[in-house]
Structure 1
Amino acid sequence: MRTNSQTRLINLIIIALFSAIIGIFSQVMIPIPPVPFTGQTLAVGLAATILGAKRGTYSVLLYLLLGAVGIPVFAEMTSGISRIVGPTGGYLIGFIPAAFFVGFYLEKTKFTVFHAIIANIISMFFPLLIGTAWLKVAASLSWTAAFVGGFFPFILVGIAKAILAGWLGILLRSRLESAKVLPKSTTA
């Protein structure tokens, strides 16, 4: 049986690991015109699906903090507070409620592939909506221009990444539960 300090240490390691995974996936880029797609949202969905609301959100917060202080974890090996407050910063900020929602939804329902896919599809709209609104204000765009450039191009790929995050996340979560790295799900 683990002590409380051992459990806390394992949680910190898992949070740090998933923060690093988000940073690594952020470097995976598919250059599809007009906007390249990265693995960031897939990694955020995986972290939340596997870790739940609290640890998944902490992983995202740590990822954002690392990038803000200058560690190049954002897309294209970039970093800095200017990335967070710049025109595309709303997408990064949107990862926080997205991760929390996925974990919260799964904790209140059940950690199944079906529920994970539903939660990830719904959550993909958090960064898109926050990011589009932020882009509109930061770049002084019209709502139409912001939605055309910052929302619509990401929907289909976002759905595909949400389905993958839900399926793969539940698969990995069940393996981590079997290995006793994560506690067994106790939801209905």
Structure 2
Amino acid sequence: MMTTATEGRPKSKFNALTIVYSGMFAALMMIGANITSFVPFLVIGGVPITLQAFFAVLSGLLLGSRIGALSITVYMLVGLAGAPVFAKFQGGFGQILSPTFGFVVAFILTAYVAGKFVERKNTLPTYIIAALVATAINYLVGTNWMYLAYKFWAVAPEIFTYKIAWLWMVPPLPKDIILAVLAGIFAFRISKHLKVRRTF
């Protein structure tokens, strides 16, 4: 009896659908970073209110910890390679010295943590808690990176302090909390219809 060439081979962890979803979320991060170009009123006090945190959380909830983090890593690498995908259409390896680059790095951890939560328990409260915890981690890592950047290699205002660094995060905080809850609800509902493997 003849067998096909693929019989007996282990299935790849990265199927075509996973690759499509990963590319989609990398693209959504690019759009979310520059949403203020299309909706100018989302700039408060000169600070652009982006949707990157929302999409980073959503990628982890829907794609799982590893694939979600991979999607955001792809986004970061594309930006460092020179594509204008970061906030204000910026890009290039020099962005690594930007005080706000810590948030980009934190998005990877955000997706990973969100994914880890829902991989262990698949309930609506878990999805919402995962989104809120991941958002908190994003703020913690990003804000501390920004503070250290202004203290050691970036030009900061003379009155700049650790407290001021956190006060700068107040304007986008309510938006990100609301979006985190919505991401949890949306991901819980849509995960039942998407054939996404979270156990990679």
Report the TM-score, using the length of structure 2 for normalisation.
0.80
**Letter aligned with residue 54 of structure 1:** R
Please point out which of 159, 167, 172 is paired with 1:154.
172
Please point out which of 26, 30, 46 is paired with 1:23.
30
Which protein is bigger by CA-based radius of gyration? 2
Deviations 1:130-184 (Å, cap 9, x if unpaired)?
11111112112421121112x333321110110111112222222213xxxx24x
Please point out which of 51, 60, 63 is paired with 1:51.
63
Q: Is the 8 A contact 2:102 2:143 kept in 1?
A: yes
Please point out which of 174, 181, 192 is paired with 1:174.
192
Aligned to 1:104: 116
Give the deviation of 1:34 after TM superposition: 5.2
Deviations 1:43-62 (Å, cap 9, x if unpaired)?
11111111110110100111
**Letter aligned with residue 121 of structure 1:** L
Q: CA RMSD in A?
A: 2.2
Task: Tell me whether 1:137 sits opposite 2:155 in the alignment.
Answer: no
Structure 2 unpaired stretches of 5+: 1-9, 37-41, 152-159
Bigger share in helix: 1
Matches within 5 A, 1:74-93: 74-93=86-105
**Letter aligned with residue 192 of structure 2:** S
Distance in 2 (alpha carbons) for counterparts of 1:172 and 1:84: 34
| Identity level (%) | 28
Distance in 2 (alpha carbons) for counterparts of 1:138 and 1:6: 38
Q: Is the 8 A contact 1:26 1:39 kept in 2?
A: yes
The change in CA–CA distance for 1:113 and 1:81 in structure 2 (over 3 A counts) is farther
**Secondary structure of the residue that 1:153 maps to in structure 2?**
coil
Distance in 2 (alpha carbons) for counterparts of 1:136 and 1:147: 9
**Letter aligned with residue 137 of structure 2:** F
**Letter aligned with residue 163 of structure 2:** T
Give the deviation of 1:38 after TM superposition: 0.7
Give the deviation of 1:6 after TM superposition: 9.2
Aligned to 2:5: none
Q: How many residue pairs are counted as aligned between the two chains?
A: 178
Distance in 2 (alpha carbons) for counterparts of 1:75 and 1:35: 10
**Letter aligned with residue 130 of structure 2:** A
Structure 1 unpaired stretches of 5+: none
Distance in 1 (alpha carbons) for counterparts of 2:194 and 2:181: 20
